[in-house]
Structure 1
Amino acid sequence: MIGKRLKRLSPAIGRAYIQLIMELDERISEISATQLQKQLKCGPGCDGCCIQFSVLPLEAAIVAEAAVAKNVNAENNGESCSLLKDGLCSVYEVRPVICRTQGLPLAYIDEEAGAIEVSACPVNFPDDYPLSHDELMFMDSYNGRLAQLNVQYCTENDIDCSVRIPLADCVC
């Protein structure tokens, strides 16, 4: 289990990460409270996007700490996330950024192409759904801040910051 080898966050990184999550959650609430409220079908038990994937060491450390505190055991659910228990996330309060934003219309700036790339859940948004600029969750600044915090965390703990850690490795 890699979670036991990960170090705790320094208070400064912990505060900065919490601030990032609070701002992200606030923006998610703003988007969810708009006309998209009727489109968003995500809720307890909607776990189709909860698959096995990896996260940055910073978020792996946060998930691992929560998993230990809650005595979460990894379950091999095939392709489903090992943190999924009865269709619900066992560490929901500290779920990684990628999990927090699932289901929303995510936008990324492609500077080379001079375009906005949009990725949206097909359950919530069919291909022909007309998304406005205000309904998009622009992820570049959030992901940039997360990457910077990850570099700080990895530097403080002598961890290769290019490594991604499977969520399944964060639990016993």
Structure 2
Amino acid sequence: MPSSALAAYRQLLTRIDAFAAKTRQRLGEQLYCRPGCAGCCTHIGVLPVEALALSGALAEAPPPLRERVRKRLANTAGDDCPLLEQNLCLLYDARPVICRTQGLPLLVGSGEERRIDFCPLNFRGLDSLPGEVVLDLDRLNQTLVAINLLLGEKLKREGIRMPERLRVAEALVWNPLAAAG
């Protein structure tokens, strides 16, 4: 049922990953963010389309990994991300948009308040960044919200109420189709 929303979401992730790869290729030596760096990996909230992708990835994961994640869900408290183990994401390929863009140069704000933001560990010693490696966060978020609305419309037709956001722990077990039945 939500396959078109998930397909659009996956296309967005592919575009984000290509952008991130281009940025790494151009400025890789200036990027501190890499596997093992988990300073910004907290228990975040995600949109329902991201939650559906995460729960689907967990359902398709090998049984030993599913069991590890379920144990972590039961034992993770506070702001710790339940997917983070030894500073690595257990479902890295399915990580949400914010996890894919964290640390990259992001154009944020509006009007005269627009500025470039990035992890303070990145781009040390650079006075400026080339425009082609700066991601417009407002445009990205607008696209993500539009994809999420597509999912919301489909769920509404099925009589399923869609939450506004879910924390990762909730997302991993969220199954809107089961809730309807």
Evaluate the alpha carbon distance shift between residue 11 and residue 169 of structure 1 in structure 2; reply closer, same or farther with a 3 A threshold: closer
User: Which residue number corresponds to residue 4 of structure 1?
Assistant: none
Structure 2: tracts of 5 or more residues without a match? 174-181
Q: Residues of 2 paired with 1:106 and 1:149: CA distance? A: 20
1:41 counterpart = 2:55: no
Check conservation: 2:107, 2:115, Cα contact below 8 A: yes
Q: Where do residues 71-82 of structure 1 align in structure 2 (5 Å cutoff)?
A: 71=66, 72-73=69-70, 74=73, 75-76=75-76, 78-82=78-82
1:164 counterpart = 2:165: yes
Evaluate the alpha carbon distance shift between residue 129 and residue 169 of structure 1 in structure 2; reply closer, same or farther with a 3 A threshold: farther
User: Which residue number corresponds to residue 18 of structure 2?
Assistant: 26
Q: Residues of 2 paired with 1:128 and 1:37: CA distance? A: 13
Shift of 1:78: 4.2
Identity score, percent: 33
Check conservation: 1:31, 1:137, Cα contact below 8 A: no
Moved more, 48-57 or 68-77: 68-77
1:103 counterpart = 2:95: no
Q: Residues of 2 paired with 1:23 and 1:142: CA distance? A: 10
Deviations, residues 47-78 of structure 1 (Å, cap 9, x unaligned): 11100110101101111121233312214154
TM-score of the pair, normalised by structure 1: 0.82
Evaluate the alpha carbon distance shift between residue 171 and residue 161 of structure 1 in structure 2; reply closer, same or farther with a 3 A threshold: closer
Shift of 1:127: 8.8
Structure 1: tracts of 5 or more residues without a match? 1-8
TM-score of the pair, normalised by structure 2: 0.78
Q: Which runs of 4+ in 1 moved over 4 A?
A: 126-129, 159-162
Q: Tell me the secondary structure at the aligned position of residue 33 of structure 1.
A: helix
Check conservation: 2:106, 2:134, Cα contact below 8 A: yes
CA RMSD of aligned residues (A): 2.2
User: Which residue number corresponds to residue 176 of structure 2?
Assistant: none
Shift of 1:161: 5.9
Q: Residues of 2 paired with 1:127 and 1:104: CA distance? A: 16
Shift of 1:141: 2.3
Shift of 1:103: 1.3
Q: Residues of 2 paired with 1:125 and 1:47: CA distance? A: 17
Q: Tell me how many residue pairs correspond in the alignment.
A: 161
Q: Which amino acid aligns with 1:51?
A: T
Moved more, 63-72 or 122-131: 122-131
